[in-house]
């Protein structure tokens, strides 16, 4: 959520910056500043009435003590009128605050200067491409056919038990899934991230804190009875550990990781993009979350990008890094780098990670602050990234490592599975 103080001071700059998203947010920001002016005027009036009421209340005791009963009673009547006026003003101030809050929730984060303008994924910029396309002697099979051939993933059983997008992993398919999770967590541990096993459901305040609510409410599974949400990513519970927290000083760099299943409704998805493991409603992911000083957050972003590169290189996968344009940025992000691996059989790129810097956007919602050198509170910066999401990684591994004899296992995973081939 954008800071109201920032909107007051930089409204025109913010409107211009938000145009990178392909949308004009001037009506919302103009309305916010107009309501904010009204709020400040009412707040000032309220404080004046409260001050007058307090002064008169003190005088009543003196008048009563001096035997000036008539004047004291007149002062009491005046105080009663001021109390009514005070309550009316409190209600008006509260209503204005609510209206401002609703509008602030509708405005996304402002893209950084380095983010290109654009309306869709077609306007994203390829920053780097690493690796070569795998050459096969014959026609490679897509992962859903390989899964059936080697009996390692059962999509039909998932449909029977739950529905589309909820596959069963079995045998060596389950083992390689677990191996990837252990590998990603081990690499995060080496990089200094503290591992958590967080809850898989969060309350509404947590969803609001990281920006999933109200923006993506329709994409989250919701238990209406208890008003709890299944997590779309462990970013939500991990970041919310620090909701309403003031870090004591500037000397902090908080690095968290967590493996969880993730749940997304993915409403509106269809066609070849949802075939096999390409898009699931339940999938496993290891997430990285960082809370940083504003002066160090861009360096942290670079470190996270390099961490994901390292994982893909150790897995021996061809990949590319994209800097997302304004129109393809997530609601809360100031800048995002997407990682895609090449699917040899499908002849297409598959997204496997997004690494994002949110600056103060989440921290403002979370009220996540630190005390600076002057002992004043200041908003932290937050970051997160997938390291990595498993379904499309597994799809790429199955397709890219297939041979006539079976599917080879990347060397880095062998110690986790104790076999070298799926056959």
Quote the mean pLDDT of the chain: 95
Q: What would the pLDDT profile of 59-71 be if each residue is shown by its tens digit?
A: 888 888 888 888 8
Q: What is the mean pLDDT of residues 375-380?
A: 97
* Confidence label for 266 from pLDDT (cuts 50, 70 and 90): confident
Render pLDDT for 220-257 as a digit per residue (tens, 0 to 9): 999 999 999 999 999 999 999 999 999 999 999 999 99
pLDDT for residue 62? 83
Cβ neighbors of 190 (< 8 A, separation 6 or more) are none
Point out the annotated binding site for L-serine.
233, 264, 287, 384
Q: Which of 354, 317, 312, 320 is nearest to 337 (CA)?
A: 354
pLDDT band, very low/low/confident/very high, at 270 (cuts 50, 70, 90): low
CA atoms within 13 A on the CB side of 337: 25
User: 374-406 burial, b if ≥16 CB within 10 A, otherwise e?
Assistant: eeeebbbbbbbbbbbbbbbbbbbbbbbbbeeeb
**274 — pLDDT class (breaks 50, 70, 90):** confident
List residues forming the annotated binding site for ATP.
Answer: 264-266, 351-354
What percent of the chain shows pLDDT beyond 70? 98
CATH code 1.10.287.40 for 4-106? yes
Whether residue 268 has pLDDT greater than 60: no
Region 89-114: mean pLDDT is 97
Question: Which residue spans of the chain are classified as CATH 1.10.287.40?
Answer: 4-106
For the purposes of burial, counting CB atoms within 10 Å of the CB of 43, is it exposed (0-12), middle (13-18) or buried (19 or more)? middle
- pLDDT for residue 271 is more than 70: no
Domain at 121-422: CATH code:
3.30.930.10
Annotated binding site, which residues? 233, 264-266, 287, 351-354, 384
234 touches 285 (CB < 8 A):
yes
Indicate where the chain has its CATH 3.30.930.10 domain(s). 121-422
Q: Please enumerate in sequence order all residues whose Cβ is within 8 A of that of 328, keeping only pairs 6 or more positions apart, or say none.
A: 118, 120, 121, 123, 124
């Amino acid at each position: 959520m954008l800071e109201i103080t920032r909107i007051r001071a930089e409204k025109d700059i913010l409107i211009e910056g938000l145009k990178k998203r392909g949308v004009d947010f001037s009506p919302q920001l103009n309305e916010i500043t107009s309501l904010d002016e009204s709020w400040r005027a009412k707040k000032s009036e309220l404080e004046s009435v409260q001050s007058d009421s307090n002064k008169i209340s003190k005088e009543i005791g003196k008048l009563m003590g001096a035997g000036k009963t008539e004047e004291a009673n007149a002062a009491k009547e005046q105080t009663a009128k001021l109390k009514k006026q005070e309550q009316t003003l409190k209600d008006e101030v509260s209503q204005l605050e609510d209206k401002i809050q609703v509008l602030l929730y509708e405005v996304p984060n402002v893209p950084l200067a380095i983010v290109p303008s654009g309306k869709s994924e077609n306007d994203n910029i390829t920053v780097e491409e690493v690796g070569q396309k795998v050459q096969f002697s014959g026609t490679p099979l897509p992962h859903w056919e390989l899964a059936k051939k080697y009996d390692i993933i059962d999509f039909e059983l998932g449909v029977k038990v739950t529905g589309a997008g909820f596959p069963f992993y079995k045998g060596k398919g389950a083992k390689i899934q677990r191996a990837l999770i252990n590998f990603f967590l081990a690499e995060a541990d080496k990089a200094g991230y503290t591992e958590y096993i967080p809850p898989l459901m969060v309350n509404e305040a947590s969803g609001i804190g990281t920006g999933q609510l109200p923006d993506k409410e329709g994409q989250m599974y919701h238990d209406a009875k208890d008003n709890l949400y299944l997590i779309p990513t462990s970013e939500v519970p991990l970041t919310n550990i620090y909701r309403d927290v003031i870090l004591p000083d500037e000397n902090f760099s908080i690095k968290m990781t967590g493996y969880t299943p993730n749940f997304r409704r993915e409403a509106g998805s269809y066609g070849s993009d949802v075939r096999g493991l390409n898009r699931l409603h339940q999938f496993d992911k290891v997430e990285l979350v960082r809370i940083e000083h504003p002066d160090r957050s861009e360096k942290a972003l670079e470190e996270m990008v390099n961490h994901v590169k390292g994982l893909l290189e150790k897995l021996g996968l061809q990949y590319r890094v994209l800097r997302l344009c304004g129109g393809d940025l997530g609601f809360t992000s100031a800048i995002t780098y997407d990682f895609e691996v090449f699917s040899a059989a499908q002849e297409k790129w598959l997204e496997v990670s997004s690494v994002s810097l949110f600056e103060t956007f989440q921290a403002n919602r979370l009220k996540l602050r630190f005390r600076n050198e002057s002992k004043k509170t200041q908003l932290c910066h937050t970051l997160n990234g997938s390291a990595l999401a498993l379904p499309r990684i597994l799809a790429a591994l199955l397709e890219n490592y297939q041979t006539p004899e079976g599917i080879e296992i990347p060397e880095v995973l062998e110690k986790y599975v104790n076999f070298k081939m799926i056959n």
